Structure 1
Amino acid sequence: MQLLPFNFSQDPYLVLDFTANNPDLATLDLTNIDTFNDYVFGKVRAAGAVVGVGGYDEDRVVYRNSPHFTPTGDEPRTIHLGIDFWAVAGTPVLTPVDGIVHSFADNARYADYGPTIILEHNTEGFPRYSLYGHLSRATLTDLYEGKPFQAGEKLAEFGPYPENGDWPPHLHFQLMHDMLGLRGDFPGVCRPSERNEWLSRCPNPNKWLMINGLQA
């Protein structure tokens, strides 16, 4: 299954850690977009990599100070439900398996997904839905619900800051068994107390991507 124009068995990539176990994060303000961008792509370049990867079931400190993820008085939403791929804006996103457009939206709030596409699949052994967040706005042009895409066909591109939801350029890729009645959007982060419930809905994409160095 191919999602991006990289060969993860040959092209160099870097697994990025956004948990409290990463000492770098104790001294960085990742709510500052320039700091966040410089950190991510500085690490990727220093490693000689073409893409940074990681994040499924990761308890992320980056979300703890964001009102988008943690309204005052609420339990922080810090458990990441997909895999992130950090690469330059304009990087193509390929359709992993045959599917049709279930829904799409520009979730334009600060720290949200920005332009988002959700596909519906009918492939045996593969989850019913897949989500692609932080895309370019041009990606949504000429889309319509029910539009078919074949495996390997270009679906989208990584969006630039700020149209991608105000993030360093990356793709949030998530799988879901059930859309819970939602359209064009789906939670990508959950509370630790609800972790098991949400992980059962959103299986690990690496079971199908099979990227070494990430849990499957």
Structure 2
Amino acid sequence: MPTHFESLLSSLDVSTVLPPEIQFGQALIVDLSRTRPMWQAVGDGNPDEWVLNQMRAIGATMSIGRYNEQRPIYENTEQFEGTPDRDLHIGLDLGVMPGTPLTTPVDATVFSLADHQHQGDYGPTVILRHQEKGLTFFTLYGHLAADTLNKINVGQTLVKGELFGWVGDKSENGGWAPHLHFQIIQDLGEWKDDYPGVTYSNQAEVVLENCPDPNLIIRRDDL
């Protein structure tokens, strides 16, 4: 049964985060979980190239990395060094071209701006604060273009559908293939300009309740 927070998110009148033709267009859903055949198909090759080739084959304009998925891809990054059990992804990864514009799905205040430049981290990061139907919550946008941090200011008000930034490239986004990490957070706790996008599987019950499925806002029918 949906929580009160999930029910509220489902009831919101939202705008798109990405351009509509991308957000609702043809997409390749990529299963990055530990046991999936993709890893055998990639072998010793480049997984980023493998994804791009699969996208071209179906005419996709976006790839999607799933929410609530255990992944092996973090183990060899500086950001996740020494935490092999931290592998549960709690956002949506929306793989698009660098420079793709981002707009706020509902009215917002810019809560924080940061540039987390450890290899494997978020790179330029924005957290927006929302107040809807008596409830406060946050959305996090990771792996952005550095110019985003000059576009907006902490405390600035954004109206639904307003441009606030762009997706970054690999040289500035923490070292990842270009994509948006999009995450919903009910309670930031003591976090200020950051929040984990990957957690420990033994914390799943609590964390997934605090960070529900981002598709409650993205609203694709195939997720």
Is the TM-score greater than 0.5? yes
For 2:64, the aligned partner's letter is V
Per the alignment, residue 121 of structure 1 pairs with 130
After superposition, where does 1:20-59 map in structure 2 within 5 Å? 20-26=34-40, 28=42, 35-59=46-70
CA distance in 2, matches of 1:212, 1:70: 36
Q: % of aligned pairs identical? A: 35
Per the alignment, residue 27 of structure 2 pairs with 13
1:69 partnered with 2:56: no
For 1:13, the aligned partner's letter is A
Which of the numbers 170, 175, 198 marks the counterpart of 1:166? Answer: 175
Structure 1 window deviating more from structure 2 (62-71 vs 112-121): it is: 62-71
Per the alignment, residue 142 of structure 2 pairs with 133
**Number of corresponding residues:** 209
Q: Could you give the per-residue CA deviations for residues 85-127 of structure 1, whole angstroms, max 9, x where no partner exists?
A: 0011001111111001001100011010000000000012876
CA distance in 2, matches of 1:52, 1:41: 8
Q: Could you give the per-residue CA deviations for residues 179-203 of structure 1, whole angstroms, max 9, x where no partner exists?
A: 1121221100001111111111101
Gaps of 5+ in 2: 1-13
CA distance in 2, matches of 1:150, 1:15: 30
**In proportion to residue count, which structure has more helix?**
2
For 2:201, the aligned partner's letter is P
Q: Indicate if the aligned counterparts of 2:78 and 2:118 stay in contact, CA closer than 8 A.
A: no
Does the residue aligned with 1:197 lie in a helix, a strand or coil?
helix
**Does the C-alpha gap of structure 1 residues 70 and 125 become closer, same or farther in structure 2, counting only changes over 3 Å?**
farther
Gaps of 5+ in 1: none
**Does the C-alpha gap of structure 1 residues 21 and 75 become closer, same or farther in structure 2, counting only changes over 3 Å?**
closer
Which of the numbers 147, 162, 186 marks the counterpart of 1:177? Answer: 186
Per the alignment, residue 211 of structure 1 pairs with 220
Structure 1 window deviating more from structure 2 (130-139 vs 141-150): it is: 141-150
Per the alignment, residue 93 of structure 1 pairs with 102
CA distance in 1, matches of 2:23, 2:180: 20
Q: Indicate if the aligned counterparts of 1:70 and 1:77 stay in contact, CA closer than 8 A.
A: no
**In proportion to residue count, which structure has more strand?**
2
TM-score using structure 1 length: 0.89
Runs of 4+ in 1 over 3 A off after TM superposition: 7-10, 26-30, 64-67
Does the residue aligned with 2:53 lie in a helix, a strand or coil?
helix
After superposition, where does 1:136-147 map in structure 2 within 5 Å? 136-147=145-156
Does the residue aligned with 2:131 lie in a helix, a strand or coil?
coil
For 2:150, the aligned partner's letter is T
Q: Indicate if the aligned counterparts of 2:27 and 2:62 stay in contact, CA closer than 8 A.
A: yes
Q: Indicate if the aligned counterparts of 2:91 and 2:182 stay in contact, CA closer than 8 A.
A: yes
